[in-house]
Structure 1
């Protein structure tokens, strides 16, 4: 039978998930809401009880013309006539299962790594259950959490050896992350055929409504999804388009919601005002849902991260993701302490960031490179060549399906397809507190008004910021850190009030394409 794997329900009969409700009734309700496959999983009941329950479930699924699969127990599947089974890595091997069940049976296999996936495909699996994506209380024998990036690695690998194996991912998937998982796990060669859920439906007080919501989310692109940008080299268009984008920023004066460290709040607000944005400095996640509706952007800067702060960041991130508002992550001091490294993982798993901006040490930490230790918020001595930086930034942008910026004497930025080096700026930016943080404010503000090509928007923000720094010194008004800040703010204001209306301001852009 032809199977629609888009919304795959795995049952759970435990008290903590099902409670006192009747399993068959919950599955019936879920099927009415749009579930397309049901897997009966029960690790504790006896064989006779498993068969009785499976037969009841089969009446529900047959009436809806969808398959019922049995977890692990081939004997139960054979006894009650299920359409197939799902087997884990520690269960019966696939060739034996195929010999016992026959060619027509649907056999799925759990795959937590590329090696497991390749073997399952070579052995003839009909589909793969890829995961665990995120940590989940419903499966205690989790080997490792692979995240959307791990799912994508598996999809990429199996695309090279087969084009007829279906794939679903499983592990911690719910309405708040299902679109992001589908979006970020998609490779250039392959994409998931569906998503498997447990608690998101089984623990819901309204299984029909929960299933209906999930089906709707699966069928639509997330609002934050990047529009396919032109292949035109930004080096050829930014000098013309940059002033136009900044003019749109001035005209629209978008809200820039800064959840930033206490040291730079005042400076960040002044930078936003100087470029024409409307800043709000709020670390209160409870008001993010209202702010997100105003059409602006969000900066999450973890310079003074705390447990409460992390909770607020996540609340705000989800609010902006829900409406497609641009988000920028500044993982300040990401490699300095274990708490910060853990915070990075939590934030990356908790929502989607359009831009990740950091110095070399911070980007190494986000990418998961070993030994990416920082001293405080400083990047530390660079260990990478320009080509190596470009390769790392490009790979991370591809993994996250977003834009990654590594700041430094030469900035490197990529969206995974296009990678550029920017050589503007002045060394005095490194002598004042918060220059990196307020660059994030600038980029996020520009993103709020130009979403059709987010890489072009980010490059425009960088050039605006760094050319202003150059001008602050060349105009003779900055003689050191103390005089640089007011001169810098003045030049940001001058570019947007004088140069941009004249269609100029980006003539000195030092940007080049890098083939990493």
Structure 2
């Protein structure tokens, strides 16, 4: 059976205490199989990144939720996870032949050039739609709803909106198949409720088998 695409991706923030982060992720997964986790930790050593990936893989696999590994194909293969490609790195066309059948490939998209480079991906995380709450020093100009819609229209795959997303903003955003968030779920008083609220604001069209 072909995998289905998530409508909500929760990106890790390892600046949080480890126990708090894992508890928040576990509770977010209570919202159901439409929720995926993306393991991102650019400051980690290779050994630490792999150890964290194994912990997240055990959590996600036990619950039946997708896990995406940010930028590390070798780690994704080791922990039986999907892969997310950050900007300014390998292209989907370069990576796809090395992915086993059934693995999903998501990409980061910030502008038109990256939208073109996203060909061959299953899913795109388009950002920043609004100023991201977890990156107060991010100098990139937010795309806004119109900018997001324009980039999403250039993609050959579904687009998830990333950057300052709330359920109200998600509900009003045209062209989004879902959202990706960090603090909106991880720092919520009730991560499960936050995840369910975001899912309820997103259309279900992303939950289709990958061609």
Q: Do both share a fold (TM > 0.5)?
A: yes
RMSD: 2.2
Partner of 1:172: 164
CA distance in 1, matches of 2:200, 2:102: 31
8 Å CA contact retained: 1:5, 1:168 = no
Please identify the structure whose Cα radius of gyration is greater: 1
Partner of 1:197: 181
8 Å CA contact retained: 1:3, 1:67 = no
* 1:130 shift after superposition: 0.8
Q: Which moved more, 1:142-151 or 1:69-78?
A: 142-151
Partner of 1:106: 104
Structure of greater relative contact order (alpha carbons < 8 Å, 6+ residues apart): 2
The structure in which a higher percent of residues are helix is 1
8 Å CA contact retained: 1:5, 1:195 = no
2:152 equivalent to 1:155: yes
Partner of 1:6: 7
**Superposed, which structure 2 residues align to 1:491-502 within 5 Å?**
none
CA distance in 1, matches of 2:22, 2:197: 20
CA distance in 2, matches of 1:131, 1:68: 20
CA shift digits 1:77-104 (9 cap, x unpaired): 122221x111122233333322332453
Of 125, 130, 136, 1:134 maps to: 130
Q: CA 1:216–1:72 in structure 2 vs 1: closer, same or farther (change >3 Å)?
A: same
Partner of 2:56: 57
Structure 1 residue runs without a partner (length 5+): 221-516
Q: How many residues align?
A: 201
* 1:21 shift after superposition: 3.5
* Partner SS, residue 3 of structure 1: coil
8 Å CA contact retained: 1:128, 1:166 = yes
8 Å CA contact retained: 1:167, 1:192 = yes
* Partner SS, residue 8 of structure 1: strand
Partner of 1:144: 141
Q: CA 1:55–1:111 in structure 2 vs 1: closer, same or farther (change >3 Å)?
A: same
Partner of 2:21: 23
CA distance in 2, matches of 1:2, 1:152: 26
CA shift digits 1:134-170 (9 cap, x unpaired): 1114345554311110111122233xxx4xx222110
* 1:174 shift after superposition: 1.8
CA distance in 2, matches of 1:85, 1:192: 20
CA shift digits 1:274-316 (9 cap, x unpaired): xxxxxxxxxxxxxxxxxxxxxxxxxxxxxxxxxxxxxxxxxxx
CA distance in 2, matches of 1:120, 1:153: 15
* Partner SS, residue 202 of structure 2: helix
8 Å CA contact retained: 1:131, 1:169 = yes
CA shift digits 1:426-456 (9 cap, x unpaired): xxxxxxxxxxxxxxxxxxxxxxxxxxxxxxx
8 Å CA contact retained: 1:3, 1:66 = no
CA distance in 2, matches of 1:95, 1:216: 33
* 1:116 shift after superposition: 1.6
Structure 2 residue runs without a partner (length 5+): 205-211
* 1:127 shift after superposition: 1.1
8 Å CA contact retained: 2:5, 2:123 = no
Partner of 1:452: none
Q: CA 1:133–1:77 in structure 2 vs 1: closer, same or farther (change >3 Å)?
A: same
8 Å CA contact retained: 2:133, 2:183 = no
CA distance in 1, matches of 2:170, 2:202: 7
8 Å CA contact retained: 2:152, 2:158 = no
8 Å CA contact retained: 1:133, 1:148 = yes
8 Å CA contact retained: 2:28, 2:35 = no
* Partner SS, residue 38 of structure 2: strand
CA distance in 2, matches of 1:216, 1:106: 23
* 1:20 shift after superposition: 6.0
Partner of 1:274: none
CA distance in 2, matches of 1:64, 1:46: 27
Using structure 1 for the length normalisation, give the TM-score: 0.37
8 Å CA contact retained: 2:68, 2:83 = yes
2:34 equivalent to 1:38: no
